[in-house]
A and B are shown apart, each in its own frame.
Chain A
């Protein structure tokens, strides 16, 4: 289980305030909010790329609040795919296993189920520059999964894709989640996208986590004007 207790973070004038959240093992949690609400900051704090001002982050029975990123076992898929351009797709996928000292064969054995699940078999010898945006997202997801993280963070994983691409990648995200069961936090600003993948949703507005629940429940009973406004905007997207 991921447990955030009163996590606060400040960047310039912006505050992410007192975020308290529980995400169960194997849950697919979507963090929904408008641009500039602090979603990406929260993810960067969870994976250790930013220090929190106060509060605590626990992952299972480990307090990871002050651990360096490489000690957390938190996989992170940033908004840009950020594949390593000097490595082939295969080498990108085997990056984390090889880092752990596995032999090439062991790393391949570990990466194979991920490659099959995400349908990356025909891309393995390509360079990142030769991939479409959707393919690059899936490879980046596969690379993060190959690190066997306790928690997987996806920052706008389909944000740069067109509508059919979004649906397809969202389906593959759910399939990978089912296959590998990693506890996942998926950040997006689209209600339609959240509806495709989420077990539960948290609404983040102006640095505060204002509502948490199942999407249907939030739609029926939005907690306050900010959530209502966000849902109104997105209803048009759903039509």
Chain B
């Protein structure tokens, strides 16, 4: 209650009133609940930190982690390739169907994730899907392997990056681009030398959120896992399978790794947030 911002904006009078007590109380309760939720998953009595570290080094967990990291990084690359131009288009251009395109990009956010996996499996059963699948297999790929995982993660995560990119580009004053044009920049140079550096933090934050989401995608993975002829076990499905087999220790070890990665992503996003606006 005593930071610089509050000193400047708070009117005179009692520091604690109904609104502040309720809002701060609810915030404290929410933070407490979230911390308690995650802490409880790591406080399993018969499991020490050393034990968790040991289990985390098991071949199964390492393989799942490798697949999760590989697929989520590939997804991140694919997401950014689409999200940056798409976010720019939504932020800068007025065109017929813009509102519809904007809404459709958000669709994966409101559709239950399992539907994405199911749609992919259904797509595989169509003539087009089978043609694509046979083409992929000729190149050593398959929709039911890493490629399929990346597709599921892509559709679930791309809205986060597009939203973030759109907001980041909206925050860059369009007149700065126009000024760059009058200084001799082509449109591409103005984008690369002015807009992109100014939107950078927002784009990176969006990418980090998308990557963290990709790492944790579960619903579609389960559908893919059920239909796959090969092993497509990511960290999230690995936790589920270990839990189903009664191997709670392995599930918790994998959970700990996921939480460390998620925590790192959260820190990265918050570290970037204050610098989003240049003054």
Residues of A within 8 A of B (CB): 47-49, 68-70, 74-76, 78, 80, 82, 84-86, 95-96, 99-100, 129, 143-144, 147
* Contact A70 B176, beta carbon cutoff 8 Å: no
Instruction: Give chain B interface residues in 224-279, CB to chain A under 8 Å.
Output: 278-279
Sample of 13 more A-B contacts, CB < 8 Å, known A49-B178, A82-B176, A84-B180:
A70-B183, A70-B189, A75-B182, A75-B183, A76-B182, A82-B179, A84-B176, A84-B194, A84-B198, A95-B193, A100-B184, A143-B183, A147-B182
B198:A74 contact, CB within 8 angstroms: no
Q: Does B175 contact A (CB under 8 A)?
A: yes
Name the distance in Å between B173's Cβ and chain A's nearest Cβ. 7
Q: Is the CB of B176 within 8 A of A96?
A: no
Contact status B183-A147, CB under 8 Å = yes
Collect the chain A residues with CB atoms within 8 Å of residue B175's CB. 78, 80, 82
- The docked-state distance in angstroms from the alpha carbon of A75 to that of B183 is 6
Q: Is B57 at the interface (CB under 8 A from chain A)? A: no
Closest-by-CB residue of B relative to A75 is B182
- CB-CB contacts of B147-190 with A at 8 A, as 1s and 0s? 00000000000000000000000000101101111111110010
The answer to whether A68 touches B182 (Cβ under 8 A) is no
From residue B10, how far is it (CB to closest CB) to chain A in Å?
Answer: 26
Tell me the smallest distance from the CB of A62 to a CB of chain B, in Å: 15
- Rank and list the top 6 A-B pairs by shortest CB-CB distance, nearest first: A85-B278, A69-B181, A76-B182, A129-B279, A96-B183, A82-B179
User: Quick check: B184 and A48 within 8 Å, CB to CB?
Assistant: no
Q: Is the CB of B279 within 8 A of A70?
A: no
Check if B186 sits within 8 Å of A70, measured CB to CB.
yes
Grouping DSSP codes into helix (H, G, I), strand (E, B) and loop, the B interface class, with mixed when no group exceeds half, is helix
Q: Is the CB of B179 within 8 A of A76?
A: yes
Cα distance A76–B183 in the bound complex, in angstroms: 8
How many residues of B are in contact with the other chain, CB < 8 A? 19
For this complex, 25 residue pairs linking A to B, each with C-beta atoms less than 8 Å apart, are A48-B182, A49-B181, A68-B181, A70-B181, A70-B182, A70-B184, A76-B182, A78-B175, A78-B178, A78-B179, A80-B175, A82-B173, A82-B175, A82-B179, A84-B176, A84-B198, A85-B198, A85-B278, A85-B279, A86-B198, A95-B180, A95-B193, A99-B183, A99-B189, A129-B278
* B112 within 8 Å of A (CB atoms): no
Q: How far is the CB of A31 from chain B (nearest CB, A)?
A: 17
CB neighbours of A100 from chain B (8 A):
184
B197 at the interface (CB under 8 A from A): yes
Question: In the bound complex, do residue A99 and residue B278 qualify as a contact, i.e. CB atoms below 8 Å apart?
Answer: no
The answer to whether A49 touches B182 (Cβ under 8 A) is yes
**B179 contact set on A, CB distance < 8 A:** 76, 78, 82, 84
Q: Within the assembled complex, what's the spacing in Å between the Cα atoms of A8 and B164?
A: 40
| A84–B278 CA distance with the chains assembled, in angstroms | 10
B 193-231 to A, binary, CB cutoff 8 A, 1 in contact else 0:
110011000000000000000000000000000000000
Given the complex, which residues of A lie within 8 Å of B185, measured CB to CB? 70, 99
Residues of B contacting A69 with CB < 8 Å? Answer: 178, 181-182
- The residue of chain B having its C-beta at the shortest distance from the C-beta of A85 within the complex is B278
Which of B178, B186, B189, B197 has the most chain A CB within a 10 Å cutoff?
Answer: B178
Given A78-B175, A82-B173, A85-B278, A99 and B184 contact (CB-CB distance below 8 Å):
yes
* Complex interface: chain A residues within 8 A of B183 (CB): 70, 75, 95-96, 99, 143-144, 147
Given A49-B181, A78-B175, does the pair A86, B278 have CB atoms closer than 8 Å?
A: yes
Across-interface contacts of B198 in A (CB, < 8 A): 84-86
